[in-house]
Amino acid sequence: MSTRYDIAVIGAGMAGASIAAELAPHAKVLIVEAESTPGYHATGRSAAFWEECYGGPGVAPLTLASGKYLRQHDLLAPRGALYLGRAEDEAKIDAFMESFGGTGVHIDKLGRASLEQRVAGLRPEWTLAIAEPACADIDVAGLHQHYLSLARQAGAELRTSCPLESAEREGEGWRLSFGQRGEAQAHVLVNAAGAWADEVAGLAGAKALGIGPLRRTVIQLRTDPPPPSDLPLVLDISGRFYFKPEHGRLWLSPHDETPSAPADVAPEELDVAIAIDRFEQVVDWRVAAVERKWAGLRSFAPDRLPVYGFDAARDGFFWFAGQGGFGIQTAPAAARLGAQLLLGLARDEMTEALDASLYSPERLA
């Protein structure tokens, strides 16, 4: 006899853990994770920053709405960010500034003199930048464990090493099969499966929304000189790199977005080489060693906005996916909004200014 739940959440990364924590005080919740450890994929491979502009103007409201919660729980540490540009990038800089007008994001345009004070050894062609003083490092593991703990304290059950094999409608609910790990029944199925979101939809008989996984590479460098601890997060206005200090080392990404099947991905040597080449075009620091390298999957809907809400054509199927590289920094507001949409609860201070229609799966149907 399978156990009955009100809600089954597929995926125990940041998306699944956070929405389960918001749902569990109101319902009997099961969290199901295919891996032996929650957060093994995208959550465990994040570059760990909270950056108000990351993801674009459509994502900024979720990021801003999450900031107070993250600060209250001591999960952010000040960092600051710079979007660098060259003379030929001035139109991109201006367009970026204009695109965030009215969003509440605080950004300022800087010239070369200000840049030299913030980034030592900056090569002379980098003459323009946008500064975002509110950018912060985020304690990803701490936030993930925070949500798993809240879910558990509210009575949610977590099953790991438990891949979903089938999901069939039975009456007004779902019968879920996990192969040798047994079955469960749930009234609502929440798809928080990250890179596997469209696959889970297929198992449940819902139409895929085109949520595509993209590989992102990050490497850890030992440099000469070492990066100063107060170095801001440095990004390219053209989206070709970003880097930040981390415990005396440098985390660097070529900002790659290579389409991939859902998998446990690994970095490609070509992407590592591209990252180093781009970094050496920015500053005159010597790369002494590549100490670590990893890759993760960032999953986007076709319009690169997240997907929160019930499927229009499949009863009891709730999307909580497509959160790209911004799913961690938006987790508090996204999870609160997702739970309110699923349960029919009123908005609160965190979510009252959010336009849920921007994120509805109906826009992609």
Whether residue 338 is predicted with pLDDT greater than 80 in this model: the reply is yes
pLDDT tens by residue, 156-168: 999 999 999 999 9
pLDDT tens per residue across span 202-251: 999 999 999 999 999 999 999 999 999 999 999 999 999 999 999 999 99
The pLDDT tens digits for 131-153 are: 999 999 999 999 999 999 999 99
Q: For residue 325, what pLDDT band results from cuts at 50, 70 and 90?
A: confident
Q: What is the mean pLDDT of residues 83-108?
A: 96
User: Does the structure show a pLDDT above 70 at 11?
Assistant: yes
pLDDT mean across residues, the chain: 95
Predicted pLDDT of residue 42: 67
Q: Grade residue 41 by pLDDT with cuts at 50, 70 and 90.
A: confident
**pLDDT over 80 at 364, yes or no:** yes
Superfamily of structural domain 3-44+140-208+303-364? FAD/NAD(P)-binding domain (3.50.50.60)
Q: What is the 3-state secondary structure (H, E, C) of the chain?
A: CCEEEEEEEECCCHHHHHHHHHHCCCCCEEEECCCCCCCCCCHHHCCCEECCCCCCCCCHHHHHHHHHHHHHCCCEEECCEEEEEEHHHHHHHHHHHHHCCCCCCCCEEECHHHHHHHCCCECCCEEEEEEECCCEEECHHHHHHHHHHHHHHCCCEEECCCCCCEEEEECCEEEEECHHHCEEEEEEEEECCHHHHHHHHHHCCCCCCCCEEEEEEEEEEEEECCCCCCCCEEEECCCCCEEEEECCEEEEECCCCEECCCCCCCCCHHHHHHHHHHHHCCECCEEEEEEEEEEEEEEECCCCCCEEEECCCCCCEEEEECECCCCCCCHHHHHHHHHHHHHCCCCCCCCCCCCHHHHCHHHHC
**pLDDT in the model for residue 214:** 96
pLDDT of residue 46: 78
pLDDT level of residue 44 (50, 70, 90 thresholds): low
- What is the average per-residue pLDDT within 89-115? 95
pLDDT over 90 (residue 126): yes
Q: Where are the domains of the chain?
A: 3-44+140-208+303-364, 81-133+212-300
Instruction: pLDDT band for 105, please (50, 70, 90 cuts).
Output: very high
Q: Once rounded to an integer, what is the mean pLDDT over residues 295-319?
A: 96
| Percent of the chain whose pLDDT exceeds 70 | 99
Answer CATH for 81-133+212-300 from 3.30.9.10, 3.20.20.210, 2.40.340.10, 3.40.120.10: 3.30.9.10
pLDDT > 60? residue 100: yes
Looking at residue 211, its pLDDT comes to: 97
Query: What's the pLDDT band for 47 if we cut at 50, 70, 90?
Result: confident
- Percentage of the residues of the chain whose pLDDT score is greater than 90: 93
